[in-house]
Amino acid sequence: MKVHGVARRTIWLDDDGWRVQVIDQTKLPFAFELAVLASVEDAAHAIRAMLVRGAPLIGATAAYGVALAMHDAADDDSLDRACALLMGTRPTAVNLAWALGTMRAHLSPLAPGDRAAAAYAQAAQICEADVRTNRSLGEHGLPLLRALLTRASNLAPRSRCSRTATPAGWPPWISAPRSPPSTWRTTRACRCTSGWRRRGRATRAPR
């Protein structure tokens, strides 16, 4: 994605070649800030505190967290501690467990002196694979979306809080065709923390 005209990813290596930068998603959408991860503890905090969000990004952050641990110390105990610490941040996250399993399987057979470089290379491969997957989803999904919009060109997009015509009895967040029949009514819908609420007075079009 582009931010202020600059193409960015959600996670990447710092210019020094070993630290990791991520977009701090807790600041979005009101501010765009970056966070620098310099240790496995930083990576664990980024996952636990939701600086990074979304299953693939959590897995990628965990992979780089292992790489950061190997940068500090590449012995078996360090690998075990890093995987245990990162796994504890989101025990039910599938991508997290998969990424840690991939990193452990890749690094365990290697000599400690070879693990740091291999860990960064493997983490980068995990990120690139996710980028390819996302690009493929977009390429395959775009024609489907275009076809859907062609068939349903009479549907108007809904904002979260807007006045719109909806069929009587329909939930207010469901979009409706642009030209409402006489049985439709106008409501004001607002998505609140307690759920969808209708505001305003419902009116029925004259017959």
CA dist list (Å): 104 to 84, 123, 126, 152, 174: 11, 11, 13, 48, 46
Helix axis angle, 40-48 relative to 55-72, nearest 10°? 160
Architecture of domain 2-148: Up-down Bundle (1.20)
End-to-end CA distance of the chain: 49
List strands edge to edge, sheet with 184-192.
Answer: 162-167, 184-192, 195-204
**What residue ranges do the domains of the chain occupy?**
2-148, 162-204
Contact status, residue 72 vs residue 38, Cβ threshold 8 Å: no
pTM of this structure: 0.71
Query: What pLDDT was estimated at residue 187?
Result: 43
- Tens-binned pLDDT, residue by residue, of the chain (207 aa): 788 888 889 999 999 999 999 999 999 999 999 999 999 999 999 999 999 999 999 999 999 999 999 999 999 999 999 999 999 999 999 999 999 999 999 999 999 999 999 999 999 999 999 999 988 988 999 999 988 888 887 555 555 554 444 344 444 444 444 444 444 444 444 444 444 444 444 444 445
